[in-house]
Amino acid sequence: MASTLRAVIVDDEELARLFLREMLRPHPEVEIAAECANGFEAVKAIGETRPDILLLDVQMPKLNGFEVLELIEPGPAVIFVTAWDQYAMRAFDAHAVDYLLKPFSAERFEVALGRAKSRLGERRLPTDLAQAARSPGQFPQRIVVKDGPRVHIIPIEKLDYVEAQDDYVALHSGGKSYLKQQPIAAIEESLDPARFVRIHRSAIVNLERIARIEPYGKESRIAILADGARLPISRTGYARLLEAMGDSQGNRNTTL
């Protein structure tokens, strides 16, 4: 007898979940390990059940499908199931095995399921799913961070600064700090350069949070933020800072 495969269904519409359940009925080798109505439920269920196959909607309350993938460990073969066709190319950038556009036939589902089974031996997720979720020229409106069983959502406008910490970054927002396993260069690439500047190899700052810039040592400078945080500024970072402030903060009262 073939090994049982575990599947998780994620869709905010109950009828859609029912339809997928019916599509899997002729496949006794696939066990439905969980059904989820939103992204938070999905992240929790995927962590607990470690499915082989993930049937995932894109547009959902709380967390979208790409954010769910960003928060889980690599593993499931992902089939996106959605009514929105504009995410197709981004889904494949996210290494999805297939993209089912609602409504779809049983024959089309069989093709997708077959692809998922064939890809089980080479399961992986890319390092920057947030990038895959965006169109060129777009910047994220929030950052999601998984902290054990909890998921934190940081609106971009509330992100104060970012610090590199080995293989992680510390995201500082409203006096709190959140660790995310991601290189600081990847975070830098995802942020709007008109709002965020990398002032040091280990620090990115929100321009609106800078209260003043002071000398620090013989040829160094330090940024003092509105909350009192102090961030080092390299020579290259200072040049970037002057350029960014000249472009977008021309009438700002910050003392340079």
pLDDT, one tens digit per residue, over 117-164 is 988 866 455 444 455 445 556 778 889 998 887 889 999 999 999 999
Based on the number of CB atoms within 10 Å of its own CB, is 47 exposed (0-12), middle (13-18) or buried (19 or more)? middle
pTM of the model: 0.73
At 94, the pLDDT band (50, 70, 90 cuts) reads low
Based on the domain organization, do 32 and 97 belong to the same domain? Answer: yes
> What's phi and psi for 236, nearest 5 deg?
-65, -40
Based on the domain organization, do 126 and 146 belong to the same domain? Answer: no
Provide mean pLDDT across the span 209-234: 92
Angle at 43 between CA 98 and CA 190, to 5 degrees: 75
CATH of residue 187: 2.40.50.1020
Of 81, 100, 132, the domain-final residue? 132
Based on the number of CB atoms within 10 Å of its own CB, is 149 exposed (0-12), middle (13-18) or buried (19 or more)? exposed
Domains of the chain: total: 2
Give the domain range for residue 17. 5-132
Instruction: Give domain status of residue 256, yes or no.
Output: no
Task: Give the model's pLDDT for residue 127.
Answer: 42
Q: What are the DSSP calls for 86-145, one per residue?
A: GGHHHHHHTT-SEEEESS--HHHHHHHHHHHHHTGGG----S-HHHHTS-TT---SEEEE
At 239, the pLDDT band (50, 70, 90 cuts) reads very high
